[in-house]
Chains A and B, each alone.
Chain A
Amino acid sequence: MGVAIATPDLESAPRRPGRLRTNLLPYALIGPSVVVIGGILAFPLGMLVWLSLQHYGLRELIAHQGEWVGAGNYQAILVDPLFRQVIVRSLLFTLACVGLTLLFSTLIALLLLKVRQAVRVILMSALVFVWATPVIVTVDIWQWMFDYEFGVINYLLTQLHVGNFIHHNWFDNPVQGLSVLVLVVVWGAIPFVTITVFAGLLQVPADVMDAAHVDGAGAWQRFWFVTAPILKPIFLIVTCLSTIWDFGVFIQIYVMLNARPSSDYFTIAIYSYRESFGVTQYGLGAAIAVIMVLILVIVTFFYVRETVRVAEVAA
């Protein structure tokens, strides 16, 4: 290499060609990422908006040419009573899922602080196992557990005298069915949120906690006035992520109902999917998807702001 002979000349300013190279180098390094993300995420996002302004059915799909309808798709959706139901259902579903996830996760995270080491290892392992299991697999499991004929849940509820659940079909009644789906989503979401909150709890300084204790703060007060404010950024990020995931829920409902959910089970993602791939109205489906993205953009804004702030503090 011959580098040993060359004495580094620390005094002189970098030569011009070298400088040019370092100036262009970072752009060359991020270039491939920009191409992939731009081409396969950003461009489709733009195309989605463009599609939502077209009539794009089966005929247009074959011709590769949509028919411009302006805001027509949006007008059609906004007067559609089914769409209003879908929005309300999606929001309520998200609220239930996010609220219950945060509640249980925080409780389990606090419990993790209290239990002895061996129990902590057991509980953590259980959480990691649940977290690791692919969503499709978990949906299949819950489908089996809630099977109306041989499902273990119906058996257990009957044995525990909660009621007569023999041959009870949970999905006949959409309120019950959606409650089951909330359970499936929350169960799957608890590990990530719990472990994240627990990691945050470990960072709460013990001396601050002790000081609060000495000053006579009870357990609830210590949580509310010491722990919660310190964990605020973590709660914010976790809430945003959960909202984004739960509002766009698709797999759990779609697969649980054997790819044939009735309109009582339509959430916004399923409705958009049904309009586009079920009845080949890609323009309408795109308009619904745009509305979904717009609602999520608000949540994303807070998420990005908090993540950037956290990254800056950490740096």
Chain B
Amino acid sequence: MIVPGAAQGVRVGRARDEAHVNLGINIGQRTKQLLYDLTGVAVAAVMLFPIYWMVATAFKPGRDILSLTPKWIPAPFTLQNFQDAIARPYFLDDVKNSVIVVGVMLVLAIAIAFLAAVGTARFGFKGRTAFLITIIAVQMVPLNALIIPLYLMLDRVGQTDSLAGLIACYLAVVLPFMVWTLRGFVANIPAELEESAMIDGCTRVGAFLRITFPLVGPGLVATAIFGFIQAWNEYIVAYVLLSSPNNQTLTVWLASFTTNHGPEWGPLMAGATLTGLPVVAFFLVLQRYLAGGLTAGAVKG
């Protein structure tokens, strides 16, 4: 803060005046800061409320849920809704299906995406730019638009009500983003590191496995988690393709809850909490990678 004359040792009275002014500014700034902080907390509360309401409802006994005056906190507290949700037909089947679909898809996707990431980050070749532009553009094709041909294609080979068909679809959905992100991670590791390892006697493959692969580890984790979230949350393709209830995934189970059983909000909110839990957990691991995300480097010139 610039205080004119302060450094020149002026009269005490003037100094006192300035102290008053300073205090005024401080109080003004403090109230302003307090206002900002309060607004920040209020925004956080408003944003979080729906999620709080889900968890709170999930722990409330039925009569507290269906009451005209809502109870703000879940007291008394019950786990009955979770038991009900888990005991529902097909819940466990569908959890298993979701895990299988996401697991198999991720293993395949990581392997395929990693190869392409290395190919595009480490080599210059004809068609590289075209490939990369396709990778970006293809992410923008809305999945809803592709459902009709995907359904007819899989129908022709008899894979509409099978997890294999769904895995293939998800693979194609997550792959472009994974290639693009992993490419960034690989490109950030200087090729010189590999080269010096090769000068020190490593083979090309050895240098890659010992130097690049460990360094790109966090990138692989981040990309895998991203793929997990996308596939775990996907609804439309699963809904269209999988017709028998024991073949469906968790999101389809959750979305059909109200239509099949009428609004039983308690078990529904418990099921929703259980579905969201793994995603939130993984997301918290991932978030520092996501902050830059799709626009990484946008402003750094």
Residues of A bordering B, CB below 8 Å = 1, 3-4, 8, 22-23, 25-34, 36-37, 39-45, 47-48, 51, 56, 61, 64, 108, 111-112, 114-116, 119-120, 122-123, 125-145, 147, 149-150, 152, 155, 166, 187, 190-192, 195-196, 199-200, 203-204, 230-231, 233-234, 237-238, 241, 244, 247-248, 250-251, 255, 258-259, 269, 272-273, 276-277, 282, 285-286, 289-290, 292-293, 296, 299-300, 303-304, 307-308, 310-311, 313-315
Q: Which one of B116, B136, B263, B292 lies within 8 Å of A32 (CB-CB)?
A: B116
In the complex, which residues of chain B have a beta carbon less than 8 angstroms from the beta carbon of A125? 44
Q: Which one of B47, B57, B263 lies within 8 Å of A130 (CB-CB)?
A: B47
A191 to B256, CA, bound (A): 27
Q: Which one of A134, A145, A200, A313 lies within 8 Å of B279 (CB-CB)?
A: A134
A62 to B184, CA, bound (A): 46
A303 to B111, CA, bound (A): 28
In the complex, which residues of chain B have a beta carbon less than 8 angstroms from the beta carbon of A22? 123
In the complex, which residues of chain B have a beta carbon less than 8 angstroms from the beta carbon of A108? 43
A48 to B136, CA, bound (A): 20
Main secondary structure of the interface of A (DSSP, over half): helix
A48 to B147, CA, bound (A): 9
In the complex, which residues of chain A have a beta carbon less than 8 angstroms from the beta carbon of B156? 64
In the complex, which residues of chain B have a beta carbon less than 8 angstroms from the beta carbon of A310? 295, 297-298
Given contacts A132-B283, A150-B67, contact A307 B175 (CB under 8 A): no
Given contacts A41-B146, A47-B152, A136-B233, contact A123 B40 (CB under 8 A): yes
A134 to B277, CA, bound (A): 9
Q: How many A-B residue pairs have CB under 8 A?
A: 320
Given contacts A141-B272, A152-B53, A199-B292, contact A41 B298 (CB under 8 A): no
Q: Let me know if A112 and B40 touch, CB within 8 A.
A: yes
In the complex, which residues of chain B have a beta carbon less than 8 angstroms from the beta carbon of A140? 54, 254-255, 257-258, 268-269, 272
Q: Let me know if A32 and B153 touch, CB within 8 A.
A: no
Q: Let me know if B44 and A122 touch, CB within 8 A.
A: yes
Given contacts A127-B47, A132-B279, A136-B255, contact A141 B144 (CB under 8 A): no
User: Is B179 positioned at the interface, with any CB of A under 8 Å from its CB?
Assistant: yes
